[in-house]
């Protein structure tokens, strides 16, 4: 319990209530049924429980990640993993304040809500704040979280490591079928 002295009276604020209000924030979405992830996922709906970020802050981080690393067809469920890691990062009070201040700056740069701004306004705001510690932190989290997970692998067509499947020599050494319309001569058969 936190106790705050205010003008000669004693205000008691329950930390449990604050924690409840924070944890009641959720980032939710739905996967497209016929997408790669929709076919792999056990359910089409997803939700992410937030422990430190408020709902509006989480929404802003999601849009920030999508602005930094835009992929038109990549579902929000993959970007939500970035939000989860930013929420975990915000456990420290200083980190949470940094996130909140940066989100406030993003909102100020677009003259309203960053999440409601046009793509051009968002890109301009992020470009202006690209050197800030929070935007750099989100960039780093995006690189490790956004691209290193099974959902992203499925979306981008990455088959995973070759070692566990016997290596590349007899499986995929000269396979460039992942490229759009490769000419037949760039994938000759492996000599027996």
pLDDT over 90 for what percent of the chain? 40
Find the mean pLDDT for residues 167-174.
67
Residue 178's pLDDT band (cuts 50, 70, 90): low
What is the rounded CA–CA span in Å between residue 188 and residue 75?
35
Residue 10 included in any domain: no
Find the mean pLDDT for residues 40-57.
71
Residue 28's pLDDT band (cuts 50, 70, 90): low
Residue 15's pLDDT band (cuts 50, 70, 90): very low
Instruction: Identify which of 35, 58, 41 has the alpha carbon closest to the alpha carbon of residue 156.
Output: 35
> What is the residue range of 116's domain?
26-158
Residue 5 included in any domain: no
pTM of the model: 0.67
pLDDT over 70 for what percent of the chain? 66
Residues 152/64/33/156 CA torsion (nearest 10 deg) = -20
Residue 61 included in any domain: yes
What is the rounded CA–CA span in Å between residue 155 and residue 84?
20
Residue 53 included in any domain: yes
117-154: pLDDT as tens digits: 999 999 999 999 999 999 999 999 999 998 888 888 88
| Number of domains the chain is built from | 1
CA distances from 186 to 25, 32, 109, 170, 176 (A): 51, 34, 48, 16, 7
Residue 142 included in any domain: yes
């Amino acid at each position: 319990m936190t106790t705050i002295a205010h003008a000669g009276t004693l205000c008691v604020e329950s930390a449990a209530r604050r924690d409840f209000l924070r944890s009641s924030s959720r980032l939710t979405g739905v996967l497209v049924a016929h997408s790669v992830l929709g076919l792999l996922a056990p359910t089409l709906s997803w939700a992410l429980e937030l422990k430190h970020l408020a709902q509006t802050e989480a929404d802003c981080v999601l849009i920030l990640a999508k602005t930094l690393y835009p992929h038109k067809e990549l579902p929000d469920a993959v970007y939500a993993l970035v939000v989860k890691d930013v929420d975990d990062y915000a456990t420290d009070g200083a980190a949470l304040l940094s996130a909140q201040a940066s989100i406030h700056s993003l909102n100020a740069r677009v003259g309203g809500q960053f999440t409601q701004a046009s793509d051009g306004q968002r890109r301009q705001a992020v470009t202006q704040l690209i050197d800030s510690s929070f935007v750099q932190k989100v960039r780093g989290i995006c690189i490790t979280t956004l691209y290193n997970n099974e959902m992203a692998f499925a979306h981008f067509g990455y088959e995973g490591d070759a070692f566990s499947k016997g290596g590349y020599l007899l499986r995929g050494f000269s396979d460039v079928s992942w490229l759009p319309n490769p000419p037949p001569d760039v994938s000759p058969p492996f000599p027996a």
